[in-house]
Structure 1
Amino acid sequence: MVSFPRLKFRRPLFAATAAGATAALLVSCAEPSGDSDAAATTEAAASQVTTLTVYTSEPEEKVDEINAAFMAANPDIEVEVYRAGTGDLNARIAGEKESGEIEADVLWAADAPTFETYKAAGDLAELQDVDTADLIEEAVDAEGFYVGTRIIPTVIAYNTDVIDEADAPQSWADLVDPKYAGQLVMPDPAVSGAAAFNASVWKNNEDLGEEWINALGENQPMIAQSNGPTSQEIAGGGHSVGVVVDYLVRDLADAGSPIAAVYPTEGAPYITEPAGVFEASDNKEAAERYLNFLLSEEGQKIAVEQAYLPVREDVGTPENTPELADIVLMTPDLQVVTDDKDAAVELFQNAMQ
């Protein structure tokens, strides 16, 4: 486990505003107070606010809740969000690099292989003041360029109005049974970072591999754009079985939808939805404060309330969720998965045609 020093809460903008405050004091001695003083105070306060730009694949309502709590605790920082699927985020970042430099301060999305790619390209800043002492080892990049913020396993989900619990598929191998032909739905790995990661994990798993992916394609799954539409399709009964991240199943079940999750016997691929700071950012101190909030007890309790498994063990887990220790997780070689992701996505797309 790697531990970085705790954030020092530096306020570099305050030095500049102090000079402005001194000047304002001198003026106030010579002139009576009035509307101009109120305007000057408002302008000075505004000048102290740092605007932090976050690129994320987090669902809108969840990231809005996190940001509201963060800004309440950090009134000198205003968070602006560009939200999209990981594939679209990667395309936006590539376009910005080609035309100049990356415009965001923070990337919070997807999986470790995505961040490994950005790290290798020199796009991520090495974290200086982010506290990882209370995190599980799986969430921490040993080199200190990014850090996981949730444990998000991919599971098999099924519609409980259509399929009885006793008849539900229990393994990835079950999904290639011809009886599921036309009943399956999955997210598109070209759009979803989690789905792309899964494709590479499956391809490089000795019990599944290319043979399993091709056999899965013979059952003609519906390919939804991302995990959100996939979960809705299962809950609505359009396709009664699917592959989706587990927290969406909990969200829908809690809302009364007929959907349940199975953690496959071979193990569940999982992502940690990392966060990192771009090297091109001019707001690295504020960006690291944002990461520290995501990892803090308060931030992780919000994650649990949002149906996520946390990356620290002192905040509990969502209701009716297995303990992380009771879930079989696939733990492949990260470098292999990273290097093979593009080939795995291509294999998956060809198999599903």
Structure 2
Amino acid sequence: MSIINRLASALTITLAICTSAHAQEALVIDGETISPAATLAAAKAEGHLVHYGAFPADNIRPIHEAFTADTGVRVDYIRLSSSPLFQRIVSEHQAGALAADFIDLTDMLLIADLVKRGILDVPHKVPSFDAIDATLKEPEGRWYTYINSTTVIAVNTAVIPEADWPTGYKDVLDPKYDGQLGITILDGGSVLAQYGLMRDLSPTYWADLKARNPRLYEGVSPLTTDLARGDLGVAVGPIGELVLAQMRAGAPVRIIFAKEGVPSFGITGGVAAGARNPNAATLFLDWVTSKRGGDAIAKAYAYGANPASAAPVAEGVEYPSRAALIVYGAADWQSKFQPYRDEFLALFGK
């Protein structure tokens, strides 16, 4: 073999070794090991994942984009609210045609049902597992509450003078807001912790709230629309992201985080059993529960599961520390959701 051929052969072997070594590197960013090498390599080979979720598409988009930028793995997103999404997941699973690789919902009772049905039954302890609060994870890692959004009070500043803005949920009961108050009904999981906090403040809080004759809304979009155009002065519900969008558009609205605490509602998910792209889904789960992923979630105006990740950031809004969050875990859902819902709907005549 000529010297040139030997050099060429050596160079080929060296390049192959370097390429193999590079392919086997773990996902490490800013000193944080986010996912092991084998998962990263297999996920890159799959190339994409299908995510069925309940978080609004506009809010999840920057999270998906950050994940793709870090990993090269694309995300296809199918978004529905929790109840119809649950029905779609179950129907596809029964037909042996579940397209989702990663699934999340806002309703912990439906999550528990998916686990029982064997649909959300892929135990996986992410690298940050030990750091994540127990209320935000299933003990074996079948699911994680990886996004924690906030329920808030909001005001129309053209209707309510700043001196009269409520600072907490007790203030909302002031008769001066009569005819100007709108609330969402307790018919879904996004307001469970909020109405639970109200009940903790006073056993008569719900009755006192009803006495103020608030306008009842079954959806957050009509509620925030009426707030922005001045039909309401005060709104209460899981409306932070929508009000922020209105603020950016120039509407005279403002978010208030209650002084008694900040109720949270979670987006809870995990890897689907029988996923076609299980490694890509596992990589996504590792990433969204990391500090890196949590920092991306903060830019979508929510809190990540990783306690080292940043608090949300939005122009004109100062988010509270993570310690102010009131989070309902699986046990709270099991014991409180149905009786609270039934009592609330009966009281308000819905």
- Name the TM tier (shorter chain): 0.7 to 0.9
Contact map agreement 1:111 1:271 (CA 8 A) in 2: no
| 2:84 matched residue in structure 1 | 88
Deviations 1:123-146 (A, max 9, x none): 322432522258552544433221
CA spacing shift, 1:294–1:5, aligned 2, 3 Å: closer
Residues 51, 321 of structure 1: alpha-carbon distance in 2 compared, 3 angstrom cutoff: same
CA RMSD across the alignment:
3.4
Amino acid at match of 1:152: S
Specify the alignment match of 1:69 in structure 2.
66
Equivalent residue runs for 1:195-214 within 5 Å: 195-196=191-192, 198-199=194-195, 201-202=196-197, 205-209=199-203, 211-214=204-207
1:282, CA displacement in angstroms? 3.4
Q: How far has the Cα of 1:181 moved from its partner?
A: 3.4
Q: Which residue of structure 2 aligns with residue 187 of structure 1?
A: 184
Deviation at 1:120, TM superposition (A): 4.4
2:217 maps to 1:224: yes
| Residue identity in the other structure for 1:63 | I
1:242 aligns with 2:235: yes
Q: Which one-letter code corresponds to 1:282 in the other structure? A: R
Q: Quote the residue 1:318 is aligned against.
A: 313
Q: How far did residue 11 of structure 1 move?
A: 4.8
Partner AA of 1:281 in structure 2? A
Structure 1 residues 314 and 69, CA, compared in 2 at 3 Å: closer, same or farther?
closer
- 2:152 maps to which residue? 155
Partner secondary structure for residue 313 of structure 1? coil
1:37 corresponds to: none
Q: Which has the higher strand share?
A: 2
State the shift of 1:318 in Å.
0.9
1:301 paired residue number? 295
TM-score by length of 2: 0.73
Q: Structure 1 residue 208: deviation in Å?
A: 3.6
2:103 alignment partner in structure 1: 107
AA in 2 matched with 1:52: L
CA distances 1:186-210 after superposition (whole Å, capped 9, x unpaired): 33444x53125544x358x44344x
Within 2, Cα distance between the matches of 1:162 and 1:172? 19
Question: What secondary structure does 1:269 align onto?
Answer: strand
Which whole-Å CA distance do the structure 2 matches of 1:342 and 1:97 have between them? 26
Asked if 1 retains the 8 angstrom alpha-carbon contact of 2:50 and 2:77, the reply is: yes
Using a 3 Å threshold, how does the CA distance of structure 1 residues 127 and 134 change in structure 2: closer, same or farther? Answer: same
Q: Aligned partners of 1:139 and 1:316: how far apart in 2?
A: 16
Secondary structure, in 3 states, of the residue corresponding to 2:254? Answer: strand
User: Matches of residues 277-292 of structure 1 in structure 2 within 5 Å?
Assistant: 277-292=271-286
Amino acid at match of 2:282: E
1:112·1:271 contact (CA, 8 Å) conserved in 2?
no
Q: Out of 141, 144, 149, which is 1:144 matched to?
A: 141
Q: Distance in 2 between matches of 1:332 and 1:148?
A: 10
Residue aligning to 1:330: 326
- Equivalent in the alignment of 1:9: 39
Question: Aligned residue pairs: how many?
Answer: 311
Output the CA distance in 2 between the equivalents of 1:186 and 1:70. 35
TM-score normalised by structure 1 residue count: 0.73
Partner of 2:208, secondary structure, is: helix
Structure 2 distance, partners of 1:236, 1:313, is: 39
Aligned-partner SS, 2:232: coil
Kindly provide the CA deviation profile for residues 262-304 of structure 1, in whole angstroms up to 9, marking residues without a partner as x. Answer: 2223323212322212224233222111222323444333322
Displacement after TM superposition at 1:58 (Å): 1.8
CA distance in 2, matches of 1:195, 1:345: 10
- What code does the residue aligned with 2:190 have? A
Cα offset for 1:63?
A: 2.1
One-letter amino acid of the structure 2 residue matched with residue 180 of structure 1: Y
Q: Which deviates further from its counterpart, 232-241 or 309-318?
A: 309-318
Cα contact 2:155–2:253 (8 A) shared by 1: yes
Which of these residues, 265, 268, 271, is aligned with residue 265 of structure 2? 271
Q: Structure 2 CA distance, aligned partners of 1:105 and 1:10?
A: 16
Distance 1:308 1:268 in 2: 12
Distance 2:153 2:40 in 1: 46
TM-aligned CA deviation for residue 5 of structure 1:
8.9
Q: 1:144 & 1:96 partners in 2: Cα distance?
A: 23
Deviation string 1:191-241 (CA, Å, 9 cap, x unpaired) is x53125544x358x44344x3224323434333343344333322222221
Q: Give the % identical residues.
A: 23
Question: What is the DSSP-based 3-state SS (H/G/I as helix, E as strand, rest coil) of the residue aligned with 2:78?
Answer: strand
Partner of 2:341: 345
Deviations 1:310-329 (A, max 9, x none): 434344541442441563x3
Structure 2: give runs of 5+ residues left out of the alignment. Answer: 1-32
Code of the residue aligned with 1:169 in structure 2: it is: P
Within a 5 Å distance, the mapping from 1:113-132 to structure 2 comes to 114-128=110-124, 130-132=126-128
Q: Distance in 2 between the 1:114 and 1:197 partners?
A: 17
SS at match of 1:266: coil
* Corresponding letter in the other structure for 1:231: T
Using a 3 Å threshold, how does the CA distance of structure 1 residues 265 and 73 change in structure 2: closer, same or farther? closer
Alignment partners' CA distance in 1, 2:169 and 2:234: 12
Amino acid at match of 1:212: Y
